[in-house]
Structure 1
Amino acid sequence: MEKLGQVFAGLASHAIAAIDVEVRGEIAQFDVSALKLAALKGIFSAISSEHVSYVNAPLLAEQRGVAVRLVTETASDEYRNLLTIRGTLVDGSQISVAGTLTGQRQAQKIVSINEFDVEVPMAQHLIVMVYTDRPGIVAVYGREFGAANVNIAGMQIARQQRGGNALSILTVDSRVDDAVLAKVATEIDASVMKAIDVLEL
């Protein structure tokens, strides 16, 4: 949940006004308050210069005027357990990220970003792009990242409708320079271009 919190923070383009931590599935029958603390620790570790712990994370939210709710539901349609962080930013926009554990090794996967369905292993370096769905976009950003010596380890594309917005999420081997991201964003006319680094806290 700490890593999911870092991804959530990385998606935010403005200050956070409210956070909902949603826990769905079998795990919701137990005390899951620690998952809310883990989410807050991940979020504020990514946006605060202070050392963040399970103890002071709720205080940091309170100091910043961030409303925090824990929502639990034992029913989960697609996954045995699903953890989602939803937020409202100060400009009124909303962001969300959801994750689960899969397989015998209980590998962490991201399964939704801003209501786009994906299935991507949690990784140290992620790039999230949103742009108008049209032919040739993958070739464009693949060329630009390749020219910048950025190795793409994994990729998934999602869209909500043909010709509407599409989302690409990439896992890459190293942190990507801001200038490279800006160039790619211009080339594909991206409405969202985020590089997210996920740390072991």
Structure 2
Amino acid sequence: PSTDLPFFKLDNVVVTPHLGASTDEAQEKAGVSVAKSVRLALAGELVPDAVNVAGGVIAPDVRPGIPLIEKLGRIFTALTHASLTQFDVEVAGEISSLDVKVLELAALKGIFADVVTEQVSYVNAPVIAEQRGINVRLITTPDTESYRNLLTLRGALSDGTQISVAGTLTGPKQVQKLVGINGFELEIPISEHLVVVSYADRPGVIGTIGHILGMNNINIAGMQVARQDEGGQVLALLTIDSSVPQQVLDAIKAGIGAEMVREVDLED
């Protein structure tokens, strides 16, 4: 194209080379491609062909895992209570043989999305991790017992606590499901509002949780309870129709003597 176009003089215009697009049709397609990439970048989404993104070419089977693992990252952060020192992104199953570096980037984007003031992107998420002294590892294995593919985030906090969350995609519609928290196995679709409760196993607790939420006009959409031993520790995961105020979470914790009550708000 001509180099004396008036657009070139505008401060708010960034021009790109034509990259060998010599015909009008090729230049139009190149322009559309650049515009789509700019739109993705401005929305904070992944730009696969960006030169400063380490994700590489994204295989079709890997792409559905990107939004899932980003949500897992946000859930992971909601469960933490101290600074993160070690962070492992585990990819198990059929997609482990593919290039899954982008899933590491998406997980990092997720864990920082709700804790830093700046916009987190696939470009700066690894930089933020490095600045915070977090050691990040990407681990792949073809072995998974129950699912075609399984994504797991594991982390060590500065006080020695270990945190883990796991998720997968199921069925023809690739439904995003949370299938594990801190070693407790469950399976529930991920929703915008989640409440995670950890308490000692005994009768009447579930009824108390439901009563407190009901008294505050908060509807439970779904619930799963997991335990490892009878009379031991229990983890309850609730999907809720709306956000839960902190005073209600405090009431649940006091009412059942819970070890932990956390809300996860994934609403954009």
TM over 0.5: yes
Which of 82, 85, 88 matches 1:14?
A: 82
Q: How does 1:29-68 map to 2 (within 5 A)?
A: 29-68=97-136
- Contact kept? 1:3, 1:199, Cα under 8 Å: no
Give 5+ residue unaligned stretches, structure 1: none
Q: What's the CA shift for 1:16?
A: 1.0
Q: How does 1:1-201 map to 2 (within 5 A)?
A: 1-200=69-268
Q: CA deviation at 1:48?
A: 1.2
The letter for the 2-side match of 1:110 is: L
How far apart are residue 59 of structure 1 and its match? 0.3
What is the DSSP-based 3-state SS (H/G/I as helix, E as strand, rest coil) of the residue aligned with 1:46?
Answer: coil
SS at match of 1:190: coil
Q: Distance in 2 between matches of 1:196 and 1:48?
A: 16
- Residues 79-127 of structure 1, C-alpha deviation per residue, up to 9 Å, x if partnerless? 1000000000111100000000000100000000000001010110000
Per chain length, whose mean CA-contact separation is higher, i.e. which structure has more relative contact order (CA < 8 Å, sep 6+)?
Answer: 1
Aligned residues: 200
Cα distance in 2 for residues equivalent to 1:49 and 1:63: 15
Q: TM-score, structure 2 length as denominator?
A: 0.74
Deviation, 1:13, is 1.2
TM-score, length-normalised on structure 1? Answer: 0.98
Question: Aligned to 2:235, what secondary structure does the other structure show?
Answer: strand
Gaps of 5+ in 2: 1-68
Distance 1:68 1:199 in 2: 27
Q: Is the 8 A contact 1:26 1:81 kept in 2?
A: yes
Describe the SS at the equivalent of 1:181.
helix
Overall identity of the aligned pairs, in %? 52
Shift of 1:199: 3.8
Q: Give SS of 1:98's match.
A: strand
Larger Rg: 2
Q: Deviations over 1:123-154 (max 9, x none)?
A: 10000000000000011010000001111000
Which amino acid is 1:43 matched to? Answer: I
4+ residue stretches of structure 1 with deviation over 3 A?
A: none
Paired with 1:81 and 1:15, the residues of 2 have a C-alpha distance of 29
